[in-house]
Structure 1
Amino acid sequence: KDITSVMREGGLLLNSFEGRSTSLVSGQQVCEKHGDCDTVNRLLAQLHEMECAFDGFWEKHQQKMEQYLELLKFEQHFEELKSTIEFLMVQQAGLSDTGENLSDVRQRLMELNNIDERAQELTSRSQLVILHGHQLAANHHYALNLICQQCNELRHASDVLLEEIRRKHSRLCTTQELHVQLQQALECCDQGAYFLANQQMDKCQSRDGAQNALQDIEKFLESCTLDFDPQSLKHNYETILTDELKAQIEAVQVKMENMRDLFENRQASLKKLADKQVRPVQLVAPRPENPPRAKSPLFSPKHGMDFNSSLKFSFDITLPGKRTTRKMQTSRKIEVMHDYQEKRNSLQFFISESEDSLHILKGHVIHELIETERIYVEELYTILLGYRSEMENPAMTRIMPPSLRNTKNILFGNMPEIYEFHNKIFLLSLESCIEAPERVGFCFLERREDFQMYEKYCHNKPRSDSLWRQFADSVFFQHLFEKYLLKHT
């Protein structure tokens, strides 16, 4: 402003010099006038140069100040985004990429999706800040190197965060797929146990009943497959397997194998019933009213005996969950029917020889004994499946009373050992006696030492009963009653 005022005064001074008349002045004054004009012009030129230099300096200074303000704003955005990215990185790092059960995995996926949404929004903001930094660099900002460094740092941090979230999301999704397959396998086992438990075996003693039961089993196995390949699972999910997941796979494998054994045993039993040959019944004429006294059959109407009540074999383990509502086959009697009064033109059927009666009796007894043993094995498995295995299920620990945990050996004693013996050894021994019933006694004598395992069970029984009375009404057991339709008797 001062320079402009001085230059304006210098211009007025020149005009005053030029406006004077030169006719009345002497030569000396003319020379002085020209000298003054030159001096003013020279001073004005210097002022103009000074003004140009000042304007140049001010323009550069103003540009630098503007760049400084832009850099300050850029760095504020950079620090804010970097801090938020580091916070999200810590959050996602604290989120496990596996889970003990399906609900845990789904919960972690939900939390990770929330982090991912914030990370995507943060990445969009980072892109805008990086674009602003590139514009500053293109305008030859004085802090070019710093801006480029911070842009690269911000881009790298965003990429690392998104990559970690993507990797963790992939592992959690894969873990979820594995848990879904394990849960489906367990549901198949539960459905299989429920199906077998609800088959009415008393209606399967006839050939038609056994065939219908076999068809029902085949339909069930078509709709609910019991195929389970643990090696394939371990190979397909090798990248996400932990020791805990491997243990779960092995537990499901054991459960599935036991269920397959139950179905195979049931099918084998039904096939034997469906394929058994009916002995031809001899057609004879009615006996005279006073026949000679003969040796009556062992189980004739005169004896009035129910072999089921005297020879049936059963181990009664009164434990929580043992369903006592299953009815055994009703008592049968082998009868010889005599009807002398009916006036019909038909022959009566009866077994005339005591040897045949004894043979049929033995067949009935061995079949009844084997069926009782099968039911006993199924009942044991139902208890182990419906209660003991669930006490080992991590998903059930949240509703299990703390003092009930790690007490399965007290509550169930050596029931797994009893189940393994009857399922894999004793039942097979009895089934091998179908064609030779006289070997049944030898089966018991041969395994008499194995039956000593019941002594251990009986010693533990009071502790088991006491523990059961304490927790029978807990939410944990009530949930199992509803899930497996078991009765706590």
Structure 2
Amino acid sequence: DADLGYVLIVDRRSDRWNAVKATLLRLSNFFPGLIAVVYVLRPSGLLQKAISEVSNKFFREDFKFKVVVCSCLDELHQRIDASQLTIELGGCLFYNHQEWIDTRVSVESFSANTADIGAALRKFSRRLQDTELPNDVQSTQAVLQHQGQEYASLKTELNSANAQGETLLSLIKKPAPLATPGRRCEPWAGQLVNITAVERLLIQMDETQRTLDEFWNKHASHLKLCLQLRQFELDFRELQIVLNEDIQTISDFESDGDTVAVIDALLQQTFDCRTRCQLDLDRADALYSHASKLMTDYADSPVVLDSVRPKSIELQRMSQTLRELFIQRLESLERSRDLYHRIEKANRWCSQGVDLLASQQLEKCSSPEFAAQALADIEDFFTSASEFRDPKQFRNMFQDIITPETKSLINQVIQRLQDVQVMCDRRTVGLRQIVTRARVIRPVQTVPPEPSSLARSASHGSVQGRKESTHEVENILPAVSANVKVRHVLTELLETERVYVNEISIVLKGYRDQLLDPDPYHSGPYQVPVQLVDKTDVLFGNLPEICAFHGQILLPDLESSLSSPQLVASCFLRHTEDLHSLYSFYCQNIPQSEELRRQVGENNPFLRQCQTTLGHKLPLSAYLLKPVQRITKYQLLLKDLMKYSQCPVGSSDDVSRDDNDLQSALDAMLAVLRCVNDSMHQVAITGYQGSLAELGRLLLQGGFSMWAEGKRDRLRELRLKPMQRHVFLYERGVVLCKRVGKELDKATYQFKHLLKMSEVGLTETVHSGKGSDARKFELWLQGRHEVWVLQAPARDVKETWITEIKRVLLNQ
């Protein structure tokens, strides 16, 4: 209807006509809409009416809209229906101008408020769309809280504006009754425009509020999802650090102990650590379940899957690694405990066997009754530990956990078991001969002698019989001194030494001599393998020199020194250097010998024929292991001598001196063992350009955690993880190597660096930001251009190395 134009009525009935033209001009210039026609009611006075009739003719054509001058209301009613006119114009339409103005002002105010809210909502929506998802939990929570507050504020304004519109609409539809006569309570036709405008605004408000709610719910869900992801990532990083620390902790534990008590302590330590780590594992399991739920709930979201899946996989891997470490460590410790328990049990069994043999009074054993009792005791002793009757089975039980250290220990135990069994078997043979001889009934021919000669004969026969019986017992059983146990250990030392010399002599004659000069009458159809031609020095090493030394020097010296433990100790002290040089060379040659035997094969026909000729049940490799077993046997026998010859309180100086000599001999043999073990490690060094012999004698070797830093780089230790290096200390240098290979008996050491002792300085205590570490010390070159920080596995190891390094530096 507005497009057709507005119809205006100008009532000049009570006014003068001269203001009509000015009024029409103002309408033409300032009326906001299109004017279709303007009806003008003339003044009712005669003069003004006459003026209007004259002037109307002059300005009627001056306007763009039509101007109709009405003389009276009836004329106006002819043109406009009375229902569309107010009461003042003779119509029935009630109109209150002030009320219309107030209503229109309220509508315009509501419309402006709605527009402002709409602008604020559009600005808020753009701000939400431009929001970048934060990368941490705190920022995400802050964004979610801040934007949530903004959303709540806008919702409050929307609700307030909506309530204002509802109130305004109700007032327009049902205005308050006034005391005006003829006023109707229903809205008149002119108010429908306002009602329509308010209803339209309210509909827009409802649509805006619904759009805002949908947009905010979607945006808030994204923010909450982002918060869940950031919280998951934070929990993952914290757990990753904790689990790595747990893995490092369990990895840094001592790998094994050397006694049952130590292993029990390690087991308890592992159980306690597992209890502590179980809380971390439970957290990891809960976080993994949460990750699985996230991936299930948001399976269609690539962002969630790309963020959560790799971390959940890593979390599961770390948890599984930690659990497997605990399982492997506990299984390894249990096996080691079983091993050392059996070793200790075997050692106790051997000691009991030695004590049993030493406690049997040989004078009484010449009697058949005592011999039978002693034989029964030995048989009961064997029955009490049937598990040790087969040493091979003892070795095979722990084949998968044998290390070079435990291998030597097991070889010692097996050798000792064999030695005790040999001694018991010899004693058993002697006792059975006595018992058997007593059961033989010799027939006696009766010849009536003279009474006097009968008495003399009986008396002489009785004495002669006792002498023969005693002489036979003395030939079967070795003489034992007052200190039975010491004497028995000395006898065992001498007898096992003779067996050792005899065995290696037979091996050299049956294998080495056949390789050098095959016997045409005994060699058979098999020829010497090509791999062994001119390789006897590699196959046997310096075994001929060892055989000559033991057979011509050490064995005669032991035979002449068997009268007292002090002489035996002096014998070992005199030959310490010989034993060290001979066995170090032999052990260094073991890898080459093993490799040569591997190429030839244990089942080579030539070697099998030599074995058959000698009547050996074991192959050549078992006899080439005898020197290693023998050199470890001496310290065990010396320990037994120390144990059984401990001087009581108040003993003489000579007895104390004997104990000191035994202790010195024991220390010397242990030092020889360490040097031999060190020399075997030295053979595995690869990549060194030069001769290690130029560095002097090898003093110490072992594994360290190491940091390297320069003069300009003082914080490198804090930035880098430690290097794992195997360090060899020589008289004139320190060799740093990297261990290559996982198997202990097949590992090699790759040369990395050489520190000359003439240029090395020592710092015993290393200070860092967290204080000093009791296991660390420094080796540095002049001017500290190069500094090497070494961390020993234990404090006593560090003290040993520092003592040896200081001794070398002071002797330069």
> Shorter-chain-normalised TM-score: which range?
0.5 to 0.7
In the alignment, is the contact (CA less than 8 A) between 1:230 and 1:250 conserved in 2?
Answer: no
Q: Following the alignment from structure 2 to structure 1, what is the Cα–Cα distance between the partners of residues 298 and 499? A: 88
Query: Structure 1 371/424 Cα, relative in aligned 2: closer, same or farther at 3 Å?
Result: farther
- Alignment deviations for residues 226-266 of structure 1 (CA, whole Å, 9 cap, x no partner): 73433323333222111222212211111111111211221
Question: Match for 2:304 among 109, 132, 144?
Answer: 144
Aligned counterpart for 1:235 among listed residues 364, 375, 396: 396
Return closer, same or farther for 1:191/1:40 CA change in 2, 3 Å cut-off: same
Determine the structure 2 residue equivalent to 1:218: 379
Specify which of 342, 349, 352 is matched with residue 458 of structure 2: 349
Aligned partner of 2:792 in structure 1 is none
Alpha-carbon spacing, 1:368–1:423, altered in 2? closer, same or farther (3 Å) = farther
Structure with the bigger RCO (C-alpha within 8 Å, sep 6+) is: 1
Pair 1:361–1:424, CA change in 2 (3 A) = farther
The answer for the alignment partner of 1:14 in structure 2 is 169
Shift of 1:198: 1.0
| Shift in Å, 1:194 | 1.0
Mark the runs of 5 or more structure 2 residues left unpaired by the alignment.
Answer: 1-155, 503-550, 574-635, 649-654, 656-812
1:373 partner amino acid: P
Alignment partners' CA distance in 2, 1:177 and 1:286 = 73
CA distance in 2, matches of 1:125, 1:63: 26
C-alpha displacement of 1:192 = 0.8
Partner residue, 2:272: 114
Show the counterpart of 2:593. none
Q: Is the 8 A contact 2:558 2:571 kept in 1?
A: no
| 1:367 equivalent in structure 2 | 472
**Corresponding residue SS for 1:375:** coil
**Which residue of 2 is the match for residue 199 of structure 1?**
360
Q: Of 336, 346, 369, which aligns to 1:175?
A: 336
Q: State the one-letter code of the partner of 1:17.
A: I
Tell me how far 1:220 sits from its aligned partner: 2.7
Equivalences for residues 327-476 of structure 1 within 5 A? 349-351=458-460, 363=468, 366-367=471-472, 369-370=474-475, 373-375=478-480, 382-383=488-489, 416-417=493-494, 420-421=497-498, 454=559, 464=569
Query: Cα offset for 1:380?
Result: 6.1
SS of 2:257 mapped into structure 1: coil
Q: Which residue of 2 is the match for residue 319 of structure 1? A: none
| 8 Å contact from structure 1 (residues 204, 210) kept in 2 | yes
Q: Distance in 1 between matches of 2:194 and 2:449?
A: 169
| 2:214 alignment counterpart | 56
Residue 120 of structure 1 aligns with an amino acid whose one-letter code is: Q
Query: 1:137 Cα shift?
Result: 4.1
Corresponding residue for residue 424 of structure 2: 263
Would the aligned equivalents of 2:260 and 2:340 in 1 still touch at CA under 8 Å? yes
Q: Is the 8 A contact 2:336 2:401 kept in 1?
A: yes
Task: State which drifts further: 147-156 or 182-191.
Answer: 147-156
Q: Which residue of 2 aligns with 1:325?
A: none
Identify unmatched segments of 5+ residues in structure 1.
289-335, 339-347, 386-414, 426-446, 469-475
8 Å CA contact retained: 1:480, 1:486: no
User: C-alpha distance in 1, partners of 2:160/2:198?
Assistant: 14
Q: In structure 2, what is the equivalent of residue 390 of structure 1?
A: none
Summarize the Cα distance change of 1:270–1:284 in structure 2 as closer, same or farther, 3 Å threshold.
farther
Answer yes or no: is the 8 Å Cα contact 1:351–1:357 preserved in 2.
Answer: yes
1:109 Cα deviation after fit: 2.0
Give, in angstroms, the shift of residue 85 of structure 1.
1.1
| Residue identity in the other structure for 1:35 | V
Indicate if the aligned counterparts of 2:291 and 2:312 stay in contact, CA closer than 8 A: yes
C-alpha separation in 1, matches of 2:157 and 2:552: 125
Secondary structure at 2:388's aligned position in 1?
Answer: coil
Shift of 1:357: 7.8
| 1:191 Cα offset (Å) | 0.9
1:196 and 1:462, CA in 2 relative to 1: closer, same or farther beyond 3 A?
closer
Aligned CA RMSD, in angstroms, stands at 4.6
For residues 375 and 267 of structure 1, what CA distance do their matches in structure 2 show?
A: 17
Cα distance in 1, alignment partners of residues 227 and 310 from structure 2: 18
Would the alpha carbon gap of residues 337 and 202 (structure 1) be closer, same or farther in structure 2, given more than 3 Å must change?
farther
Change (3 A) 1:9 1:222: closer
Equivalent of 1:75, from 233, 244, 250?
A: 233
Alpha-carbon distance between aligned partners in 2 of 1:19 and 1:208, rounded to the nearest angstrom: 137
CA contact (8 A) 1:98 1:240 kept: no
After superposing the two structures, state which structure 1 stretch, 267-276 or 29-38, moved more: 29-38
Aligned to 1:2: 157
Match of 1:275 in 2: 436
Distance of 1:249 and 1:78 partners within structure 2: 47
8 A contact 1:185–1:226 mirrored in 2: no
Q: Following TM superposition, by how much is the alpha carbon of 1:140 offset from its aligned partner in structure 2, in angstroms?
A: 3.6
Query: For residues 36-56 of structure 1, what are the alpha-carbon distances to aligned partners after superposition, in whole Å with 9 as ceiling and x for unaligned?
Result: 322222222222222222222
SS of corresponding position for 1:349 = helix
Distance change >3 Å, CA 357–CA 456, structure 1 → 2: closer
Match of 1:184 in 2: 345
The alpha carbon displacement at 1:448 in A equals: 12
CA distance in 2, matches of 1:97, 1:448: 43
- Count of aligned positions: 369
Q: Deviations over 1:333-380 (max 9, x none)?
A: xxx966xxxxxxxxx83337xxx987x587357436425635379756
Q: 1:267-306 residue pairs with structure 2 within 5 A? A: 267-276=428-437, 284-287=449-452
Contact 1:230 1:249 in 2 (8 A): no
Equivalent in the alignment of 1:130: 288
Residue deviations 1:451-475 (CA, integer Å, cap 9, x gap) = 565457799957947999xxxxxxx
Mark the CA change 1:207 to 1:378 in structure 2 (over 3 Å): closer, same or farther: same
Distance 1:93-1:182 versus aligned 2 partners, 3 A rule = same
User: Given the alignment of the two structures, is residue 86 of structure 1 paired with residue 274 of structure 2, yes or no?
Assistant: no
Cα deviation, residue 161, structure 1 = 0.9
User: 8 Å contact 1:105–1:172 — kept in the other structure?
Assistant: yes
Q: Provide the rounded CA distance (Å) in 2 between the counterparts of 1:113 and 1:84.
A: 18
Report whether the alignment pairs 1:38 with 2:196. yes
Matches within 5 A, 1:304-343: none
Amino acid at match of 1:244: E
Question: 4+ residue stretches of structure 1 with deviation over 6 A?
Answer: 422-425, 447-450, 456-460, 465-468, 479-483, 485-488
Identity over aligned pairs, percent: 20
TM-score with structure 2 setting the length: 0.39
Tell me the CA shift for residue 184 of structure 1: 1.8
Q: Give the AA of the match of 2:212.
A: F
- Go from structure 1 to structure 2 and tell me whether the alpha carbon gap of 1:48 and 1:122 turns closer, same or farther (over 3 Å shift): same
Structure 1 residues 99-139: Cα deviation after superposition (integer angstroms, max 9, x where no partner):
33333332322222222223333222222222333344444
Relative to structure 1, is the Cα distance of residues 204 and 111 closer, same or farther in structure 2, using a 3 angstrom cutoff? Answer: same
| In structure 1, distance between residues paired with 2:212 and 2:473 | 119
Partner of 2:113: none
Q: Distance in 1 between matches of 2:164 and 2:222?
A: 34
Deviations 1:54-109 (A, max 9, x none): 22233333333433443343333322322221111001112344433333332322
* Secondary structure in 2 matching 1:210: helix
The Cα shift of 1:481 comes to 8.9
Compared CA separation, residues 461 and 167, structure 1 to 2 (3 A): closer
